């Protein structure tokens, strides 16, 4: 939050006005590669110290987690705990880890300061003795520059399915 | 076919695994269990205003759960009396009338057939009054929880719930006004397992240490104090398993986890501390020390036979599940909270919910994995036909939450209904 106070002026700070879709795409693809490879500590390093991660309930995709039940509404402490849990072999829903493959498309810069980005996703998920599952939806990112690098200050994964139904649990990081 | 073995003198209790696998048994239980019992439909608070409706599947039937023009709760089978189409295809909303889009038959909010396009072509004996939306034979509510029964001769809901009411009351006593509210946001997900496995799992505290070690670690690492279990026990706090009659059963535990009403843990954050103290103070003022402690310092997972779970632990969740096949169910879960609770308390309640419950929680996904793993293992039910369920049987007096008396209570009622 400290950095933000310094940059909140009427105009757009050059570090945000000069951002390009190509740069954002590279960043999101890098994130996707880390998640698909289960390099969760490296993924954590992409997050700011006040980052959030949310998956809203399917029937209330546009809501606030303070007054609406979400599927996931993590603050940074809960995200770190989630990663610690997923790395534990006793996180049975993800032991052994699922294989996932993320396709990220339709990347759009929605706003430059604060830097808001949306993208579509399909996450294919495979486990032994289980049907293949397709998680389809859109990401809503809040990005920030820290020391010149893009960082994730918030990410929301909004699923298109009317209900989770055959998708079951969201036990990996979507 | 014998479905359970229950020999108390011989300390034997076993469940026939075919009951969890065989499609013929699945078909039979639709008639003998779901067509006879009181089945949970929804909570009155889900319908805020006259004309509000929700559509959902209850006991395998599509139903409209709604309020009429006078704000009374109604339940209708969601099928047009003409050709059978769903009359209402939206998940939720507010309606003046329900119009079947196929041929345009229109019903009012009390289910009466209001308009039939081209009615003059029907013969003179066509009587609109005979084609109202059909309501289930019985619809009754207990303190906001609405149930239906397809058995016209069923005992009253009040009599059916019996001793389970005491445990529902404990949940409702969290609210100063005595009114609890379903909070928006629905978790609806399938489990590839027989529905009775979720009944067992919902209040089987024996699995806590092994299945949920990562959740316990999370609490510990977040600063929640965990005592060493007393001699002969497995968990950080004492807990009982209780048979409430009619197939209902519950755990009744001394609390060691965080609770929105009202036990603060560091996960809730320092800022929430005064709010939880306020809730505690109100509780004591309203209910007295003893009852306040009963509400706040004990937790419970209640099964209302056959398919309603009210888990009052890290938060309150209502969870019901519909069998889709012998090896598959759809779970619907909601969060429940006091109607008048402050924004801070509501946020704590929902955050605490997600530490444990739901498809993205730190515990439920591992439960789902366990049930699906069981279902896969049960494919060898012909070679290994019986599952043992005898924990605590040789013990006099109180049964623990890690014993299996409460699981047996469910299965004994299930078996009784299946064999009549």
d(CA A5, CA B50): 48
A18-63 pLDDT per residue, tens: 899 999 999 999 999 999 999 999 999 999 999 999 999 999 999 9
> What residue ranges do the domains of chain B occupy?
39-149, 163-418
Q: What phi-psi label fits residue B78: left (phi over 0), alpha (psi between -120 and 50 degrees) or beta?
A: beta
Interface check for B190 against chain A (CB to CB < 8 A): the answer is yes
Fold of B39-149: Rieske Iron-sulfur Protein (2.102.10)
Residue B377 has pLDDT above 80, yes or no: yes
At residue B1, the pLDDT reads: 87
Chain B interface test: which of A66, A92, A129 (most B C-beta within 10 Å):
A92
Least confident of A7-11, B91-95, B191-195, B250-254: A7-11
SS3 per-residue string spanning chain B: CCCEEEEHHHCEEEEEHHHHCCHHHHHHHHHHHHCCCCEEEEEHHHCCCCCEEEEEEECCEEEEEEECCCCCEEEEECCCCCCCCCCCCCCEEECCEEECCCCCCEEECCCCEEECCCHHHCCCCCCHHHHCCCCCCEEEEECCEEEEECCCCCCCHHHHHCCHHHHHHHHHCCCCCCCEEEEEEEEEEEECCCHHHHHHHHHCHHHHHHHCHHHHHHHHHCCCCCCCCCCCCCCCCCEEEEEEECCEEEEEEECCCCECCCECCHHHCHHHHHHHHHHHHHHHHHHHHHHHHHHHHEEEEEEECCCEEEEECCCEEEEEEEEEECCEEEEEEEEEEECCCCHHHHHHHHHHHHHHCCCCCCCHHHHHHHHHHHHHHHHHCCCCCEEECCCCCCCCCCCECCCCHHHHHHHHHHHHHHCC
Choose among B185, B362, B364: nearest Cβ to A70: B185
Quote the tokens at residue B338.
């006091």
Predicted structure pTM score = 0.95
Do the chains contact at A81 and B354, CB–CB below 8 Å?
no
A98-124 pLDDT per residue, tens: 999 999 999 999 999 999 999 999 999
Mean pLDDT of B365-391: 98
Asked if the structure places residue A94 within a domain, the reply is yes
Q: How many domains, in total, are found in chain A?
A: 1
Choose among A65, A84, A93: nearest Cβ to B350: A65
Do the chains contact at B368 and A68, CB–CB below 8 Å?
no
Q: Does domain B163-418 have CATH number 3.90.380.10?
A: yes
Residues of B in contact with A68 (CB under 8 A): 183-185, 350
At residue A10, the pLDDT reads: 57
Do the chains contact at B370 and A92, CB–CB below 8 Å?
yes
Residue A2 has pLDDT above 70, yes or no: no
Choose among A71, A88, A92: nearest Cβ to B358: A71
* Cβ neighbourhood burial of B419 (10 Å; 0-12, 13-18, 19+): exposed
DSSP A98: P
Interface check for B334 against chain A (CB to CB < 8 A): the answer is yes
Do the chains contact at A164 and B189, CB–CB below 8 Å?
yes
Asked if the structure places residue A130 within a domain, the reply is yes
Interface check for B342 against chain A (CB to CB < 8 A): the answer is no
Residues of A in contact with B364 (CB under 8 A): 169
Residue A4 has pLDDT above 50, yes or no: no
Do the chains contact at B184 and A67, CB–CB below 8 Å?
yes
Do the chains contact at B343 and A58, CB–CB below 8 Å?
no
Do the chains contact at A69 and B368, CB–CB below 8 Å?
no
d(CA B407, CA B249): 8
Interface check for A10 against chain B (CB to CB < 8 A): the answer is no
Asked if the structure places residue A104 within a domain, the reply is yes
B245 strand-pairing partners: B248
Name the percent of chain B lying above pLDDT 90: 98
Interface check for B110 against chain A (CB to CB < 8 A): the answer is no
Asked if the structure places residue A173 within a domain, the reply is no
Q: Is the dihedral of CA B200, B202, B203, B208 positive or negative?
A: positive
Choose among A84, A90, A167: nearest Cβ to B189: A167
Domain CATH for A120: 3.10.450.50
> Is there a contact between B299 and B261 (Cβ–Cβ < 8 Å)?
no
Residue B65 has pLDDT above 80, yes or no: yes
What is the pLDDT of chain A when averaged over all its residues? 93
Interface check for B346 against chain A (CB to CB < 8 A): the answer is yes
B304-333 pLDDT per residue, tens: 999 999 999 999 999 999 999 999 999 999
- Chain A nearest CA to B90, separation (Å): 11
Q: Which of B134, B124, B126, B104 is nearest to B116 (CA)?
A: B104
User: Which 3 state secondary structure label does DSSP give A83?
Assistant: helix
Asked if the structure places residue A172 within a domain, the reply is no
Q: How far is CA B393 from the centre of its chain?
A: 27
At residue A17, the pLDDT reads: 83
At residue A1, the pLDDT reads: 40
User: Which 3 state secondary structure label does DSSP give A21?
Assistant: helix
| Interface predicted TM-score (ipTM) | 0.95
Neighbours of B220 (CB within 10 A): 12
- Chain A nearest CA to B223, separation (Å): 13
Alpha carbon distances (Å) from B65 to A165, B57, B189: 21, 10, 20
- Chain A nearest CA to B332, separation (Å): 9
């Amino acid at each position: 939050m400290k950095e933000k106070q310094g940059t909140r002026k009427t105009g757009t700070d050059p570090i945000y006005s000069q951002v390009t879709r190509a740069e954002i795409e590279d960043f999101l693809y890098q994130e996707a590669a880390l998640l698909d490879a289960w390099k969760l500590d490296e993924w954590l390093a992409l997050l700011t110290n006040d980052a959030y991660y949310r998956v809203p309930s399917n029937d209330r995709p546009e809501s606030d987690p303070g007054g609406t039940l979400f599927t996931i509404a993590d603050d940074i402490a809960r995200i770190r705990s989630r990663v610690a849990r997923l790395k534990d072999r006793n996180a049975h829903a993800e032991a052994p880890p699922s294989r996932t493959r993320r396709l990220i498309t339709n990347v759009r810069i929605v706003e430059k300061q604060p830097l808001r980005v949306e993208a579509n996703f399909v996450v294919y998920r495979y486990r032994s003795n289980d049907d293949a599952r397709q998680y389809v939806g859109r990401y809503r990112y809040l990005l920030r520059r820290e020391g010149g690098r893009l960082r994730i200050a918030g990410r929301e994964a909004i699923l298109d399915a009317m209900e989770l139904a055959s998708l079951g649990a969201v036990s990996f990081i979507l | 076919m014998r479905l359970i073995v229950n020999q108390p003198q011989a300390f034997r209790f076993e469940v026939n695994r075919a009951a969890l696998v065989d499609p013929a048994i699945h078909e039979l239980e639709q008639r003998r269990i779901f067509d006879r019992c009181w089945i949970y439909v929804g909570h009155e608070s889900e319908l805020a205003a006259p004309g509000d409706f929700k559509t959902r599947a209850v006991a395998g039937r599509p139903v409209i759960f709604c309020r009429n023009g006078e704000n009374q709760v109604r339940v209708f089978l969601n099928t047009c009396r003409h050709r059978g189409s769903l009359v209402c295809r939206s998940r939720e909303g507010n309606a003046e009338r329900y119009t079947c889009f196929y041929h345009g038959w229109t019903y009012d909010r009390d289910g009466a057939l209001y308009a039939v396009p081209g009615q003059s072509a029907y013969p003179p004996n066509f009587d609109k009054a005979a084609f109202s939306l059909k309501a289930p034979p019985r619809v009754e509510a207990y303190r906001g929880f609405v149930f239906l029964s397809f058995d016209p001769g069923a005992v009253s809901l009040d009599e059916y719930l019996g001793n389970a009411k005491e445990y529902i009351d404990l949940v409702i006593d969290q609210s100063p006004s005595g009114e609890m509210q379903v909070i928006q946001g629905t978790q609806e997900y399938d489990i590839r397992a027989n529905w009775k496995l979720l009944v067992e799992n919902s209040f089987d505290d024996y699995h806590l240490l092994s299945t949920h070690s990562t959740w316990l670690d999370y609490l510990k690492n977040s600063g929640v104090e965990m005592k060493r279990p007393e001699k002969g026990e497995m968990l950080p706090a004492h807990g009982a398993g209780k048979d409430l009659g009619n197939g209902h059963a519950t755990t009744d535990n001394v609390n060691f986890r965080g609770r929105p009403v009202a036990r603060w843990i560091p996960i809730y954050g320092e800022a929430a501390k005064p709010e939880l103290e306020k809730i505690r103070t109100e509780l004591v003022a309203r209910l007295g020390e003893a009852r306040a402690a009963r509400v706040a310092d004990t937790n419970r997972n209640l099964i209302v036979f056959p398919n309603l779970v009210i888990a009052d632990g890290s938060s309150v969740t209502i969870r019901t599940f519909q069998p889709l096949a012998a090896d598959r169910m759809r779970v619907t879960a909601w969060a429940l909270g006091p109607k008048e609770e402050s924004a801070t308390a509501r946020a704590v309640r929902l955050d605490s919910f997600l530490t444990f419950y739901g498809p993205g929680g730190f515990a439920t996904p591992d439960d789902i994995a366990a049930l699906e793993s069981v279902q896969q293992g049960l494919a060898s039910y012909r070679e290994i036909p019986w599952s043992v369920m005898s924990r605590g049987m040789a013990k006099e007096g109180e049964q623990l939450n890690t014993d299996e008396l409460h699981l047996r209570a469910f299965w004994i009622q299930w078996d009784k209904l299946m064999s009549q």
